[in-house]
Amino acid sequence: MNHATDEQIESLAEKIKRSDKRAYDDFFRLMYPHLTGFAITYMRDKSMACDIVQDAFVILWQKRFGIDTGKSLKSYMYQMVRNRCLNELRNRSKEVVSSELAENNTISEMVIENQNNDRNSLGSLFREWINALPERQKEAFELSRFEGMDHDEIAGLMNISPKTVNNHIVAAMTQLRKYYKQYKQKNSIPDE
Amino acid sequence: MNKKQNGTAPEHIINEFDEELRNEMNEIWLLAGSTAPDVQDISPIEVENGLNALNTRLEISGDYIPAGDKIAGWIQNYSRVLVAAVALITLTTFFIFVPRTAVVPYGEMATLDLPDGSFIEMNSGSTVRYSRFYRFINRTIELNGEAFFTVADHGHPFIVKANGVSVEVTGTRFNVQSWADDPAGETIVSVEKGGVLFYPIEKRDQMVTLTAGESSRWNPQQLQPTAPETSNVEDATAWREFRFVFRNQALGSILRDLERRFNITIELEAHGVENSPLTAYYSQQVQLESVLDDICTVKGLRYTRTTTGYRIYRQVD
């Protein structure tokens, strides 16, 4: 996830627990770019991602006495940011989903119909296809693809086994290939 | 972050697919990369701005120690220590007067060692409470439930208070059963060794003296506990070895014993059997269902599993 050594972070965690504000600042400087990038993967909005990461750091300071120095503070922060992102997305999607359902379209129908729209580049089609993946598959795939995380890191974050992470990613890519094939057939691009 | 844009899929992912699919999957991986969120790396200036914003928020929430000015920081730290010290003293003062409490969950038993060398074996679902000054002021224990006491002899009296009644002893071994939810509000004391004084709280002149092998009962309707009667103390303390001895015990009370021991709920949906007496012995650890089998056979009842335990109902022919 980033380049600070585990020992460095461990010693920062202990200092933060003892209310060492300077260690806390160092930890912020160390983690902020990575955590923000991570949050952007979920939120796709930089200012929102920054807000969420800052919230997480406020909470870290408030709960500093409860820091478990036996566990990785880095993973703790990633997990907190992930939870806050998912909550935010869930709150938001309640509105979106209900309006989508009102139109009585299944998601895949919408996706395929949209392909006829010329203004869509292949990139934005891929974006829609990824968005149409089941939530967990999408998350595992995006963390792997955009964050460059390995299966163990994703497994720890999503609280599932590395095997399941792998299954999610394979399923996601298989589904994306299906969409892509349909798209190529419709636009009569020959399969190489 | 070029990892987001370029390159083929990592081997551990691509190798999950059949050979002939791998090229296509690499293409998918590559194309998906174009949808990566558009991030420029966070610049050092943005980091410092973020940190400043964060510190403003922490300051507002009143939980911020400025790192810059050492002396000011020291004074601020020091004042915090003072406040903390005052708070600590106040808390400790209150804390000392709050008694210690030991609660044994349903389905478990526990032994509690007291500072004077006495110890208490507690049956499932029982609560014991004693002052933090135990041993310095007096040796008083409050009990709700059932416990077996082994009292170290220090010359000072050891007093068990339970639901309106007191047991006063010096070194001895005895059992007290006193459930606040007992329908009759009854307390039973059985002495294994030594002797005890048994009396309603605040009415020491009504005391009954019990010696080894004797027991006595009291409920709030009585002025005085019953006269000492010779009893089998082993029956009264059978619970300590996970045994059950029900001697003319009301069915309702038996079911409560089972609930506590096995940590389950038993609903009794049959009128008129709640107080019907039953005698049964189980000499060793016994399965709950075999006890229920026996009860139902004798009383003409049936039982069925529920999500939290069992329901007992009347057999309909």
Domain-wise residue ranges, chain A: 1-104, 105-192
Residue B263 contacts residue B106 (beta carbons within 8 Å): yes
Alpha-carbon gap: A35 to the closest alpha carbon of chain B (Å) = 10
CA dist., res. A88 & res. A91, Å (int): 5
Shortest CA distance from A35: residue in chain B: B42
Residue A182 scores a pLDDT above 80: yes
**Tokens 């056979």 found at:** B297
Residue A87 scores a pLDDT above 60: yes
pLDDT band of residue B203 (cuts 50, 70, 90) is confident
| Complex ipTM | 0.74
Which amino acid is present at B199? Answer: Y
pLDDT band of residue A162 (cuts 50, 70, 90) is very high
Residue spans per domain, chain B: 2-33, 44-97, 102-233, 242-314
Nearest to A54 among B32, B37, B53 (CB): B53
Alpha-carbon gap: A100 to the closest alpha carbon of chain B (Å) = 23
Residue B229, token pair as written in the block: 């009667």
pLDDT score at B202: 83
Alpha-carbon gap: B31 to the closest alpha carbon of chain A (Å) = 7
Q: Tell me the CATH number for domain A105-192.
A: 1.10.10.10
Is CATH 3.30.70.150 the classification given to domain A1-104?
no
Longest pairwise C-alpha distance within chain A: 65
Shortest CA distance from B24: residue in chain A: A177
CA dist., res. A121 & res. A90, Å (int): 28
CA dist., res. A14 & res. A36, Å (int): 23
CA dist., res. A37 & res. A65, Å (int): 27
Cα-trace Rg, chain B: 33
Q: Do A54 and B32 touch (CB under 8 A)?
A: no
Shortest CA distance from B63: residue in chain A: A62
pLDDT score at A27: 93
Q: pLDDT averaged over chain A?
A: 82
Cβ-Cβ contacts under 8 Å, B51 against chain A: 25, 28-29, 32
Nearest Cα residue to A125 out of B7, B28, B38: B28
Tell me what the mean pLDDT of segment B246-251 comes to: 87
Residue A24, token pair as written in the block: 């806390």
Which CATH fold would you assign to the domain B242-314?
Phage tail protein beta-alpha-beta fold (3.55.50)
Residue B133, token pair as written in the block: 């000054």
Nearest Cα residue to A80 out of A23, A46, A42: A42
Provide the pairing of β-strand B309-314 with B265-269.
parallel
Alpha-carbon gap: B89 to the closest alpha carbon of chain A (Å) = 20
Q: Among the listed ranges A164-168, B38-42, B173-177, which one has the minimum average pLDDT value?
A: B38-42
Domain range B102-233, CATH class: mainly beta
Residue A129 contacts residue A184 (beta carbons within 8 Å): no
Shortest CA distance from A129: residue in chain B: B32
- Chain B window 57-86: which residues touch A at a Cβ cutoff of 8 Å? 57-58, 61, 63-67
Q: At what angle do helices A122-132 and A162-186 cross, to 10 degrees?
A: 130
CA dist., res. A16 & res. A18, Å (int): 5
B172 — phi, psi (to 5°)? -175, 175
Element (H, E) at B313: strand B309-314
Residue B239 scores a pLDDT above 60: yes
